Structure 1
Amino acid sequence: MPKDPATRLQWLVFALVSAVFTTVYIPQPVLPVLRQTFGVGEGAASMTVSAVVLGIAVANLPFGALADRLPIRPILLTGGLVVSAAGVASALAPTLPLLVAARFLQGLFVPALTTCLAAYLAREMPAERLNVVMGSYVSATVVGGLSGRLLGGFVLPPAHWRWAFLVAAGLLLVATLAAHAGLPRERHDEIRGAETVRFRDVLFRHDLFRLYCVSAGAFFVFSSVFNYMPFYLHGAPFHWSTRAVTLLYLSYLVGVVAGPLAGRLSNRVGNGTAMVVGALTFGAGLAVTLVPRGWAMAVALALICAGFFTLHASAAGALNRKLSAGRGRANAFYVLFYYLGGAAGITLSGHAYHLAGWHGVVALAAGVLLVPLSTGVVEMRLAQRDGSATRSSAARAR
C-alpha cells in the first residue's frame, strides 16, 4: 500500500468499488448454466442480474439521505458486511427464488458502498484531488464489471459458479475492512450542517440537474452501442462470430486509463472543457462505426469508451465540486439518472435499430450526445465568467 495518504486513499477506493461491481456482474456470463441448474427459462435466470439492479434502484435515494445525516464509514462497513454475507447466501442457495432473494438483498445495500462512498469523497477530499479520485472511482466500475464477468465465466469454470460468488464475497469483505480501517474519520460539523438539505433542493438546482442529464445522456448512448453492436457485427458485411464480438468488449479497459486521466484533464482545463472533449471523442467513435471495416470497429469502440469515461468522470467531479451539503442525495440522483438513461437508451435504440438498422442507432445516439456537449459548453462559459469576475475583483483590490 502506498505511503502517501492521498494515493493510499485512491487505492482503497479503487479496491472497494472494483469489488462491489465484481459482485454485481458475476451471474451474467453463466445465465445458461443457471437456467440448466434450476430448470427454468431465460427470463427467470436473468432475474439473478435484474434483482440486483432493482435493489439498487429501490435503495439508492434512501441511502443518499442517510449519507447526508450520518457518518459514512459505519454505513460502508454495514453495507460491505451485508453484501458479502448475501454473496455467501447466493453461493449456497438451493433454489432459484432463494438465489434471487439474496441478490436483491445485495442490490439493496450496494448504494451503501457506491453512493455513500461518492458522498464521503466529496465531503472529505480537497477540491484539487477530488476530480482525480472520482476518475479512479469510475475506472474501478470498469474493472469490477469486467472482473465479475471474467470470474463467473472464464477464470472459474461456468459449472463452478457457486465458487465465483464465494470468491467475490471474500474479496468484498477484505476491501470493506481495509476501507473502513484506512479511510479518515469524518468531520462531524459538516455532517450536522447537511441535515437541512432536502431531495428537492438538489433535484431542482439547475446547475446540478444539468449534470444529472449528462449522466443519463452518456449512459443512454453507451448502453445503446454495446447492446446493439453485436447485432450489427453478426450481420453483413462483417459476419463476425460471437467470440470475435466478445473480444471487442475488452475495449472497456480503455476506461481504466481514461478515468484518472479525465480527472487530471478536468483539473487542468476545467470540468466543462473535459466534458466537451469527452462528447466530441464519443461522437467521433460513433462516426467511425459507420466505416465497414474490422479495424474501424476496434478504433471506434476505443474512442467510444474514452469519450464515455471522460464524460462520466468529469461530470461526477463537477457535481461534487458544486456541493457544500446534500452530497449523498445529489450522488443518489446522479446514479438514478445514470441507470434511467441506460434503460431508456436500450429501449429507444431497439426501436431505432428495427426501423433503420445501425444507422438509426447512431443517429439517435448523436442527437442525445448533444445533451452532454451543450452542458460542457455551458460549464465552460460559466467557468470563464467566474474567472473574469475573480480577476476583475483582484484588479480593483489592487
Structure 2
Amino acid sequence: MKRAEILLYYFCTGLTLCILYATQPIGPVFENELVISKTQATLFTTAIMMPLAFAGIFYGYLLEKIQIKIILVLAFLFLGISEIVFSLTHSYFLLLNIRGFQGLLIPAVLTGIMSYISQISSKDSVANAIGVYIGVTIIGGFMGRALSGFFTDIFGWRVFFFIIGCVAILASILLLKFSQNIKASYLKPHLIDIIHTLKTRHNLYIFLMIFGIFFTFQAMLNFIPFELAKISDNYSSSKAGMLYIGYLVGVLVAFNTKKIVAFLGSSIKAIIVGIIILIIAIQIFRIESFWLIFVAMVVFCLGNFIAHSIASGFINKMATSHKGISNGLYVSFYYFGGALGSFVPGFIYIPFGWGAMLSFISVVSFISLIFIMVIRDIKN
C-alpha cells in the first residue's frame, strides 16, 4: 500500500505542475481569442506562480495543524472544479482570477506532498524519493505544456482544461480513498531568523542569483510562443508545446548533480558553467529558425537546470544554521523571480522586439553570474 500511495502522490505532483504551466504555450491563442495584449496573456502564468513566492513564509502557520490528506483532498477538488469553470469562462478578468485562486492552492499541495514523501520514506530512501519527486515536477511541467498545445490544435484549449479538471477531481477521490492521515511537517519561520539568514552575504547572493536565473527562464518560456507565432508561417500550439521538450533535460541533470559537480570540480564552478551555458543559449535564440530555436531551448534548459539543481543543494551545504529558513527563502526568491520574469520582459518585448528582450535577460543572467562569482571570492 505504501508504494501505491507514493505513486499516487507522484501522479498528483505531475498533475499539479501540469495545471501550473498549461497556459504557457497557448498565449497567442488567448491573445487572439480573448482580444487581449501579450502581457495580459502572460499574466495567466504570473497569477498562479506569485503565491509560490510567499508560501515558504506564510503557509507554515496555516498548515501546522492540518492533516495532509485533508489538505490534498480539498485542494484537488477545488483545482478540478476551478479548471472546469476555467474551460467554460469567456471573461478575461474571471479567467485571471481563477488562475490566481489556483495559485493559492498549489503551494499547499506541493508542501503536503513533500511532507508526505519525507515522512513515509525510510531514512535510506528519502533522498532518492525526493529526487524522483523533482524529476516528476519536471515531467509534469513538460506534459502540461505539450498536451495543452496538442489539444488546443485538435480540439481547442477549452477541452484540455475541462479534461484536466476532471482528472484533478478523480485525484481528489483517489486521495480520499487511499492516502493516510499524516500531519504536515512544516517550518514556521520567525522574522528575526529570516533577517539573520539574509544578513549572511553568501546566502543573500545565492538568493539573488537564483532570482535572476528563474526570471530569465520564465521570461523565455513565456514569450517564446509569441515569437514563434511571429516568425513561423505554419505556427501551431502543438509545435510550441513540443518546443519545451528540451525541458526534459532537467530530469537527467536532477539525477546526476553529484557527477556534474565531481566533473567540474566544485558546486560553484558547476553553477558558473550552468549560467554561462544559459547566456550562450540566449544568443542562439536570436536566429529565426524553428530548429535552431529548438536546439537553443535544449541548451537553455540544460544551463538552467545545472545552475538550479546544484544551487539548491549548495545552499544547504553553506548554511551553518537555520537550514530550513535558507531553503524556504531560496524557494521564495526562485518563484518570485519566475513570477516577475513571466510578465516584466513583456514591457521590453512588445515595444522594442525580441532582440531587445534577449539582451535584457542576458544582462539579468550576467548579473546572476556576478553574484555567484562574488560567492566564490568570499569562500576563497
The letter for the 1-side match of 2:163 is: W
Residue 368 of structure 2 corresponds to: 372
Equivalent residues of 1:13, 1:137 under 8 A apart: no
Q: Percent identity?
A: 23
Alignment partners' CA distance in 1, 2:76 and 2:197: 32
**TM-score under structure 2 length normalisation:** 0.72
Residue 89 of structure 1 corresponds to: 81
Distance 1:80 1:101, change over 3 A: farther
The letter for the 2-side match of 1:370 is: F
Alignment partners' CA distance in 2, 1:324 and 1:176: 40
Q: Secondary structure at the match of 1:165?
A: helix
Equivalent residues of 2:115, 2:184 under 8 A apart: no
Distance 1:232 1:312, change over 3 A: same
Residue 250 of structure 2 corresponds to: 255
- Pairwise CA distance, 1:308: 0.9
Alignment partners' CA distance in 2, 1:308 and 1:197: 32
Equivalent residues of 1:65, 1:328 under 8 A apart: no
Distance 1:15 1:322, change over 3 A: farther
Alignment partners' CA distance in 1, 2:133 and 2:334: 15
**TM-score under structure 1 length normalisation:** 0.69
Residue 279 of structure 1 corresponds to: 275
- Pairwise CA distance, 1:218: 0.8
Q: Deviations over 1:341-365 (max 9, x none)?
A: 2344345533443565333222222
Residue 167 of structure 1 corresponds to: 167
Residue 286 of structure 2 corresponds to: 290
Residue 349 of structure 2 corresponds to: 353
Q: Deviations over 1:139-173 (max 9, x none)?
A: 33332223334555646954544332121343466
Equivalent residues of 2:214, 2:335 under 8 A apart: yes
Alignment partners' CA distance in 1, 2:174 and 2:375: 39
Please identify, of 302-311 and 95-104, the stretch whose mean Cα deviation from structure 2 is larger.
Answer: 95-104
Equivalent residues of 1:90, 1:162 under 8 A apart: no
- The root-mean-square deviation of aligned C-alpha atoms, in Å, is 4.7
User: 5+ unaligned residues in a row in structure 2: which ranges?
Assistant: none
- Pairwise CA distance, 1:307: 0.6
Alignment partners' CA distance in 1, 2:354 and 2:9: 38
Count of residue correspondences: 366
Residue 220 of structure 1 corresponds to: 215
Alignment partners' CA distance in 1, 2:30 and 2:288: 36
Equivalent residues of 2:67, 2:184 under 8 A apart: no
User: 5+ unaligned residues in a row in structure 1: which ranges?
Assistant: 386-398
**Counterpart selection for 1:304 from 296, 300, 312:** 300
The letter for the 2-side match of 1:242 is: S
**Counterpart selection for 1:242 from 236, 240, 243:** 236
The letter for the 2-side match of 1:63 is: Y
Equivalent residues of 1:215, 1:337 under 8 A apart: yes
- Pairwise CA distance, 1:27: 5.9
- Pairwise CA distance, 1:279: 0.7
Distance 1:191 1:360, change over 3 A: closer
Pair 1:199 & 2:199 matched = no
Equivalent residues of 2:15, 2:140 under 8 A apart: yes
Residue 391 of structure 1 corresponds to: none
Alignment partners' CA distance in 1, 2:134 and 2:281: 20
Distance 1:90 1:48, change over 3 A: farther
